[in-house]
Structure 1
């Protein structure tokens, strides 16, 4: 179960790296505009905001990767993973309420699943 929790957490981290790439580097490309349902005009106007959002997603991914690969103490690893997964869940809830409802599924669901499995795997 702990291995499943770590794998799911890794998946969430990779997902947020991909979001970083989409928002920071591909926002105004055909693929970026298709993913986010943007017109070229809207993409141009919002590009700076998207880069900012992408950077935040990168920080979330970095926190998870840091916990997964560099924190050796099991308790600290667990607490750090919980912190970043909870941040992602809160961001997904906020994003789905204020921007696009599907965010709760695309970003929230993997993080919620990873969070639940992490909690269950570390239950004492």
Structure 2
């Protein structure tokens, strides 16, 4: 993930997550329904043991949202629906445990940019 990220405080982070939720909920109907499913997401325990919780989550997000690797520009979202909106719950839960984590906050920023671009 390239670029720098301003670490948000808890209030700013809450606003950013609510904004992301709204953007993901309002993605255009031209995107396919249910391309993503984070509703019952849990990190892979082996990955978590190896990389830690944030590292395992980051690995999974990269696999789902950037399967060909990171490129310059916003993430290209391939779908919409409640399975994608649930990624906000995944991020919220992780950020509750690691509120100042730059990797997690960068995912909030990058997914927001992707949703705005869709």
Q: Same fold (TM over 0.5)?
A: no
Q: Which has the larger radius of gyration?
A: 1
Which TM-score tier does this pair reach, normalised by the shorter chain?
Answer: 0.3 to 0.5
**Could you state the TM-score of these two structures normalised by the residue count of structure 1?**
0.35
**Could you state the TM-score of these two structures normalised by the residue count of structure 2?**
0.36
